[in-house]
Amino acid sequence: MTASAPLPPQDAARVARRALPLLDLTDLSETSSAAAVEALCETARASGVAAICVWPDFVAGSARTLRGSGVRVATVINFPEGGDDAARAVADTRATLADGADEIDLVLPYRALMRGDAEGARGMVAAVRAACPDRLLKVILETGELEDPDLIARASRLSLEAGADFIKTSTGKTPVSATLPAAEIMLEAIRARDGRPAGLKVSGGLRRVEDASAYLALADRVMGPDWVSPTTFRIGASALHAELVRALEAAR
């Protein structure tokens, strides 16, 4: 997204107060370690974020560390490749649930959708949904790779119809991650949905308070000013956390 002018300190603090409880504080780096995740958990506990998002290997330890804190533990499945192996995705989901995961972030088989296999993509979402009936399921569309607005809209509808609680923009592992135009398409699909409500997670490339402000403003415009909450809107970020804290400190 295009960089916007810095917000005045009081406006930045207002955005930070709103955005901090929406964060999925994330460590999906290749160099992630038990010590790094332990530190992430302590930061999450102190900051009052919605969740942490970590590799499956770190779910059990995170669940122990965060027990009773109110911070949820999310992990990633079929990540980041978005392959076609639904049986593997289901097995990995069940294993992470046994370790204590509260939320599953599943990468849609987006390449299957791009080559016309919508039912294959839908089938994986439905299968993982069946494997985690009582846990939050976020489906990552990888919108920067889908690119075409019609494909993004189709992926959004397909994922919601197959049982996603949230649709998520991106893995953060591709050249193009979250964009405002893609997020707007996804919000329109959520708004048009009949029946069970759903949410949006924006992820990848959000580093400034102004980035958070732009996505919050978009959600307010499309969904209404009272829609955004941790149950409907998440921000997947790591670098953003420090900027939000800095904005709050600067306004004191």
Query: What pLDDT score was predicted for residue 195?
Result: 81
Residue 216 has pLDDT above 60, yes or no: yes
Residue 103 has pLDDT above 90, yes or no: yes
Mean pLDDT within 38-59 = 97
CA distance 173 to 79: 9
The more confidently predicted of residues 20 and 239 is: 20
Residue 2 has pLDDT above 70, yes or no: no
Catalytic residues: 105, 168, 201
Query: What pLDDT score was predicted for residue 1?
Result: 53
Q: How many residues does the chain have?
A: 252
**pLDDT tens, 136-190?**
999 999 999 999 999 999 999 999 999 999 999 999 999 999 999 999 999 999 9
Query: What pLDDT score was predicted for residue 3?
Result: 65
Radius of gyration of the chain (CA): 17
Residue 194 has pLDDT above 90, yes or no: no
Question: Token pair of 41, please?
Answer: 């958990």
Contact between 78 and 89 under an 8 Å Cβ cutoff? The reply is yes
Residue 99 has pLDDT above 70, yes or no: yes
**What's the mean per-residue pLDDT of the chain?**
96
Mean pLDDT within 73-100 = 98
The string of DSSP letters for 147-179 reads -SHHHHHHHHHHHHHTT-SEEE---S-SSS---
Residue 200 has pLDDT above 80, yes or no: yes
Q: In the block, which residue shows the tokens 């009582």?
A: 134
pTM over 0.85, yes/no: yes
CA distance 246 to 238: 14
- Which pLDDT band holds residue 16 (cuts at 50, 70, 90)? very high
Mean pLDDT within 203-219 = 97
Query: What pLDDT score was predicted for residue 4?
Result: 79
